[in-house]
Amino acid sequence: MPQSDFLSASNKLPDIESLQENISQKIDSFLDHSFGKSSIFPILRDYPTRTGKMLRPAICIAACGAVGGNIENAYNTAAAIELIHNAFLIKDDIVDGSDFRRGKTTLNRMHGLEIALNAGDALKVISLSALLDNLPLIGVRKSLQIMLEFIQMARFSVEGQLMDVEWVKKSRVDLTQKDYYGMCVRKSCWYTTIGPCRTGVTIGSEFAAPEQLAIVTDFATKMGLAFQIRDDLLNLLSTFKEYGKEINGDIWEGKRTVMLIHLLENCLPSEKKVIAAILKKERSKKKVPEITYIRELMDRCGSISYADNLSNRYAKDAIRVLDRKCGWMTNKPWKRALRQLVEYVVSRNK
Over residues 325-338, the pLDDT tens digits come to: 999 999 999 999 99
| pLDDT average, residue stretch 227-252 | 87
Predicted pLDDT at 298: 98
Measured over the CA atoms of residue 155, residue 107, residue 42 and residue 24, the dihedral's sign is: negative
Q: Which long-range contacts (CB under 8 A, 24 or more apart) does 109-116 make?
A: 111/43, 115/40, 115/43, 116/90
Q: Please say if the pLDDT value at position 175 is more than 50.
A: yes
How does residue 177 score in pLDDT terms, banded at 50, 70 and 90? very high
Per-residue pLDDT reduced to its tens digit, 6-59: 333 334 455 666 777 788 889 888 988 888 778 888 898 888 888 677 899 999
- pLDDT in the model for residue 6: 37
- State mean pLDDT over 63-73: 96
Q: How far apart are CA 67 and CA 335, in angstroms?
A: 8
| pLDDT cut 90: percent of the chain above it | 70
- Measured distance CA(120)–CA(122) in Å, rounded: 5
Q: Which domains, and CATH codes, for the chain?
A: 15-328 (1.10.600.10)
- C-alpha 139/C-alpha 98 separation (Å) is 41
Collapsing DSSP states into helix, strand and coil, what is residue 57? helix
Based on the number of CB atoms within 10 Å of its own CB, is 158 exposed (0-12), middle (13-18) or buried (19 or more)? Answer: middle
Across all residues in the chain, what is the average pLDDT?
Answer: 90
The residues, any chain, with a CB within 8 Å of residue 175's CB and separated by 6 or more, are: 167, 256, 261, 264
- Tell me what pLDDT residue 15 has: 66
Q: Return the pLDDT at 102.
A: 79
Q: Which of 223, 237, 233 is nearest to 191 (CA)?
A: 223
pLDDT digits (tens, 9 = 90+) for 110-159: 999 899 999 989 998 899 888 999 999 999 999 999 999 999 999 999 99
User: Positive or negative CA dihedral for 146, 148, 151, 156?
Assistant: negative
Query: How much is the average pLDDT of 335-342?
Result: 94
Tens digit of each residue's pLDDT (9 = 90 or more) over 84-117: 999 888 988 888 788 888 788 999 999 998 999 9
For the chain, percent of residues with pLDDT exceeding 70: 94
The predicted pLDDT at position 23 comes to 86
Q: Residue 210: which pLDDT band, with cuts at 50, 70 and 90?
A: very high
User: Exposed (0-12), middle (13-18) or buried (19+): which is 102, by Cβ within 10 Å?
Assistant: middle
In the predicted model, is pLDDT for residue 200 greater than 50? yes
Average pLDDT over residues 280-308: 96
Position 3 pLDDT exceeds 70: no
φ, ψ at 79 (rounded to 5°):
-65, -40
User: Would you say residue 179 has pLDDT above 80?
Assistant: yes
pLDDT at position 2, please? 35
Among 10-24, 58-72, 217-231, name the one with the lowest average pLDDT.
10-24
If one compares 44 and 261, the residue with the highest pLDDT of the two is: 261
Would you say residue 231 has pLDDT above 50? yes
pLDDT of residue 16: 62
Band of residue 1 on the pLDDT scale cut at 50, 70, 90: very low
* Integer CA distances (angstroms), 331 to 11, 304, 339, in order: 10, 38, 13
| pLDDT value of residue 80 | 94
- Given a contact cutoff of 8 angstroms between Cβ atoms, the answer to whether 288 and 249 are in contact is no
